[in-house]
């Protein structure tokens, strides 16, 4: 009598925060961002779900330079997460179930994001939810999270914080949301973390400086883990006196805490 089929696992494989960036000189050694054990586990996988297949291959090429891949790069099975139409709800579970077929057949799989930890500020969370529903074990691997690195570098409240994602693009809606988050931060004594598409970073900084109170603390972490990466944490009043230009092609994390 055959025993129960052993299912594979879904490994959440972190990627460097410089993932996908171009025009910033040579990329740092992968081992400066990821533990060797994580690189070895990534090299052993042959089935992947990725936010973007092209950048996933770029990551695997860097892995292969340190630990040879179990299969050549061109033989790796990489499928992309479904991209819902703008304004649509998350992909329905049946679509995601099909992506987990190798794990249901006993193969370990990897999930990678564009940068950082999969499923954190990332659409991969829906796949992780599907894995739990199907009884596929989920194994997160150690790696950098831009949100936690930025919070640690900010000096803001690491005991109580919230990640609020993106703000509205429309000017009035964005201004209202900034004031709402500042009031919440003041009431709860809580740091608020937010992000933006890199080309909108300068506009977001301008909006924050226009609508936050002078005593509110604002921290910006730009290009974390890149050689030229930096964090500045100061009062809004000080930012207004001496602002920092933000590049429009480098990821940044913004954090605020009301006085």
Q: Are residues 190 and 237 in the same domain?
A: yes
Of 96, 113, 140, which one is at a domain's C-terminal end? 140
Taking the mean position of all CA atoms in its chain, how far away is CA 188? 25
The mean predicted confidence, pLDDT, of the chain is 90
Q: Which DSSP category does 74 fall into?
A: G
pLDDT tens-digit series, residues 151-179: 999 999 999 999 999 999 999 999 999 99
Q: Is the pLDDT of residue 255 over 70?
A: yes
Q: Enumerate the β-bridge partners of residue 10.
A: 109, 138
Coil, strand or helix at 241 = helix
Distance CA 102, CA 130 (A): 14
> ∠ CA(177), CA(164), CA(33), 5° rounding?
140
Which CATH number do you get for residue 228?
A: 3.30.950.10
Q: Are residues 111 and 158 in the same domain?
A: no
Higher pLDDT among residues 91 and 39, named by residue? 39
Higher pLDDT among residues 33 and 138, named by residue? 138
Q: Are residues 113 and 202 in the same domain?
A: no
Higher pLDDT among residues 122 and 36, named by residue? 36
pLDDT tens-digit series, residues 98-116: 999 999 999 999 999 988 8
pLDDT tens-digit series, residues 204-247: 999 999 999 999 999 999 988 887 889 999 999 999 999 888 98
Calculate mean pLDDT across residues 68-93.
78
- Integer angstrom CA distances of residue 35 from 10, 29, 85, 148, 223: 19, 11, 36, 17, 20
State the pLDDT confidence band at 26, using cuts at 50, 70 and 90.
low
What is the domain count for the chain?
Answer: 2
């Amino acid at each position: 009598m055959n025993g129960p089929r052993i299912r594979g696992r879904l490994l959440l494989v972190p990627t460097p925060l410089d993932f996908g960036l171009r025009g910033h000189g040579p990329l740092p050694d992968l081992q400066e961002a990821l533990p060797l054990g994580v690189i070895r586990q990534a090299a052993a996988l042959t089935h992947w779900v990725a936010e973007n297949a092209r950048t996933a291959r770029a990551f695997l090429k860097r892995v292969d330079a340190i630990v040879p891949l179990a299969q050549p790069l061109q033989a790796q099975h990489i499928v992309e997460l479904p991209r819902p139409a703008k304004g649509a709800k998350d992909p329905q579970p049946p679509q995601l179930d099909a992506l987990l077929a190798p794990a249901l057949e006993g193969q370990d799989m990897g999930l990678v994001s564009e940068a950082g930890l999969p499923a954190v500020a990332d659409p991969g969370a829906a796949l992780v939810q599907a894995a739990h529903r199907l009884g596929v074990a989920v194994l997160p691997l150690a790696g950098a999270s831009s949100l936690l690195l930025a919070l640690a570098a900010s000096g803001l409240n690491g005991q109580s914080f919230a990640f609020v994602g993106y703000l509205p693009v429309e000017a009035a809606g964005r201004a209202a949301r900034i004031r709402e988050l500042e009031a919440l931060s003041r009431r709860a004594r809580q740091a608020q973390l937010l992000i933006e598409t890199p080309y909108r970073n300068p506009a977001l900084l301008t909006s924050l400086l226009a609508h936050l109170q002078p005593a509110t603390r604002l921290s910006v972490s730009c290009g974390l883990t890149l050689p030229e990466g930096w964090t500045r944490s100061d009062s809004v009043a000080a930012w207004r006196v001496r602002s920092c230009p933000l590049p429009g092609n480098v990821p940044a994390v913004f954090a605020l805490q009301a006085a």
